[in-house]
Amino acid sequence: MSDRKRIVVLGSTGSIGTQTLDVARRHADKLEVVGLAVNARADELLAQARAFGVRHLAVGDERLSREPIADELAAHVESAKPEGTASSLAEAFAQRGEGTLGFGADAVVDLVRLPEADIVVNALVGAAGLRASYETLAAGKVLALANKESLVVGGDLIMPMAAEPGRLMPIDSEHGAIYQCLLGENPREVSRLWVTASGGPFRGRTRADLEGITPAAALAHPTWNMGAKISIDSSTLMNKGLEVIEAHHLFAMPYDRISVVVQPQSAIHSMVEFTDGSVKAHLGTTDMRIPIQFALSYPDRWDAPVAPLDFTKLGSLEFAPADTDTFRCLALARAAGERGGTLPCVMNAANEVAVAAFLAEEGSYLGIAACVEAVMDAHERAGVQRVESLEQLEALDAWARQEARKNVR
């Protein structure tokens, strides 16, 4: 019987997903990939499935079920079945189960219930990841979470399911850093969480400077290599606002004790300040494989997946306050978190629509914050609700997206 941890990767062709598979490749003696899910990159999914011998696959885009790639995926799942005599086949299937291939959002979520899976890496982009996170915890699996919206939108539902230590492992560099700084500490002795920000590509600019910003300019992050949506969020500092809400849920910390500080070198991934004035900082190379690996190896630490940080070449460390007047998304996200209830859900949906419009050159850069604020205001006028169910959040998400499309500017 293998003692390897068996993982399912949702969003396996994205930035976090591919780096997760890189960690799995490096530590093949400790990790086995048993399920992979993508939204639409089915060709890449097939290549990954062949490389890792994965027999449980899902594609979110149902339209691809009618394309030739569906037949290739099905052939892989079929060929990856155990071979042997009738009696040995029965035993093999009893141990391993048959391979599966599904299309659509439900098929992606179904992978989290695989009996052989121990850990689910949720690297889905956007609010679509919330149900997957919920069902992962409901199925008794460990949730390695890279999907910010799970906690931003549904933290009130998710966190009560993850009370047991180690059930929810944050993959974010910032939250992974805070998690590690808190190991062995008394939570009651924590006075402040410091969430670090690189400042993005427009650090130091004024609002006037941001008029006419193009998607290409906003995608050019100075220190991290990320997907398009998260890169835009990083440039507007919305990403940091989402992380503040996540930190509130993950570490049960009031918003007035969570601060954002700009650290342009991205060497300090976050800090924890204690009641006696001591501060723990987590430093490391700017490579997401480090927090990904820790989320998968916990409570152990494995050999580093990248070259360690060379302090003799690091030079100086700079710190500055975040400019919430210029980058209004950070202030809007914090306001949504402080108000709580269903407002973060609405804020997040509006941001997703506004960012997509900007990337499609249908909306402006400064229009992202304006759109988010307009939808938040509309929801507050209608009445913010207490979070009660996934269905409630999904309905409000749909309403907010429709409202946001009216406010793209």
What total of structural domains would you count in the chain? 2
147 assigned ligand-binding residue: yes
Is residue 9 assigned to a domain?
Answer: yes
Confidence of residue 204 (pLDDT cuts 50, 70, 90): very high
Domain that holds residue 339: 194-284+323-406
Confidence of residue 146 (pLDDT cuts 50, 70, 90): very high
Are both 123 and 25 inside the same structural domain? yes
243 assigned ligand-binding residue: yes
CA–CA gap between residue 333 and residue 290 (Å, rounded): 27
Residue 181 has pLDDT above 80, yes or no: yes
- What is the average pLDDT value for the chain, to the nearest integer? 93
Is residue 91 assigned to a domain?
Answer: yes
Are both 69 and 153 inside the same structural domain? yes
What local confidence, expressed as pLDDT, does residue 221 receive? Answer: 75
12 assigned ligand-binding residue: no
Percent with pLDDT over 70 in the chain: 94
In this structure, of 79-83, 110-114, 177-181, the range with the lowest mean pLDDT score is: 79-83
Which whole number is the average pLDDT over 393-407? 97
Which whole number is the average pLDDT over 254-275? 96
Are both 349 and 279 inside the same structural domain? yes
Are both 109 and 242 inside the same structural domain? no
Confidence of residue 1 (pLDDT cuts 50, 70, 90): very low
240 assigned ligand-binding residue: yes
397 assigned ligand-binding residue: no
Is residue 40 assigned to a domain?
Answer: yes
Residue 99 has pLDDT above 70, yes or no: yes
Pair 38, 45: CB distance under 8 Å: yes
313 alpha carbon, distance to own chain's centre: 31
Residue 26 has pLDDT above 90, yes or no: yes
Are both 328 and 207 inside the same structural domain? yes
14 assigned ligand-binding residue: yes
The model's pTM is 0.92
What local confidence, expressed as pLDDT, does residue 97 receive? Answer: 56
Residue 343 has pLDDT above 90, yes or no: yes
What local confidence, expressed as pLDDT, does residue 81 receive? Answer: 54
CATH code of 149's domain = 3.40.50.720
Is residue 381 assigned to a domain?
Answer: yes
CA–CA gap between residue 107 and residue 123 (Å, rounded): 16
Q: Three-state SS string across 299-349, please?
A: CCCCCCCCCCCCHHHHCCCCCEECCCCCCHHHHHHHHHHHHCCCHHHHHHH
Are both 157 and 201 inside the same structural domain? no
Is residue 344 assigned to a domain?
Answer: yes
Are both 97 and 232 inside the same structural domain? no
CA–CA gap between residue 61 and residue 268 (Å, rounded): 38
CATH code of 345's domain = 1.10.1740.10
What local confidence, expressed as pLDDT, does residue 84 receive? Answer: 41
Are both 21 and 77 inside the same structural domain? yes
Are both 258 and 359 inside the same structural domain? yes
Residue 80 has pLDDT above 70, yes or no: no
The secondary structure of residue 200, as a DSSP letter, is: -
15 assigned ligand-binding residue: yes
pLDDT digits (tens, 9 = 90+) for 218-250: 998 776 667 889 899 999 999 999 999 999 999
Is residue 312 assigned to a domain?
Answer: no
149 assigned ligand-binding residue: yes
Are both 349 and 228 inside the same structural domain? yes
72 assigned ligand-binding residue: no
Residue 79 has pLDDT above 90, yes or no: no
pLDDT digits (tens, 9 = 90+) for 272-294: 999 999 999 999 998 999 999 99
Strands (E), 23-63: 31-38, 56-59
Confidence of residue 320 (pLDDT cuts 50, 70, 90): very high
User: Of 118, 137, 170, which closes a domain?
Assistant: 170
What local confidence, expressed as pLDDT, does residue 128 receive? Answer: 77
Percent with pLDDT over 90 in the chain: 86
Pull the structure tokens for residue 203: 């650090």
What local confidence, expressed as pLDDT, does residue 224 receive? Answer: 67
Is residue 346 assigned to a domain?
Answer: yes
Instruction: Name which of 200, 224, 230 is nearest 213 in CA terms.
Output: 200
Pull the structure tokens for residue 373: 């604020």
Pull the structure tokens for residue 22: 């890189």
Residue 3 has pLDDT above 90, yes or no: no
- CB atoms near residue 192 (< 10 Å): 15
221 assigned ligand-binding residue: yes
Is residue 216 assigned to a domain?
Answer: yes
User: Of 170, 185, 218, which closes a domain?
Assistant: 170
Are both 227 and 80 inside the same structural domain? no
What local confidence, expressed as pLDDT, does residue 98 receive? Answer: 79
Residues 6+ apart with CB under 8 A from 122: 10, 11, 129, 132, 133, 136, 143, 144, 145, 146, 147, 150
Residue 89 has pLDDT above 50, yes or no: no
110 assigned ligand-binding residue: no
In this structure, of 51-65, 75-89, 131-145, 395-409, the range with the lowest mean pLDDT score is: 75-89
Q: Are strands 119-122 and 142-145 parallel, antiparallel or unpaired?
A: parallel
Are both 241 and 341 inside the same structural domain? yes
User: Of 103, 136, 170, which closes a domain?
Assistant: 170
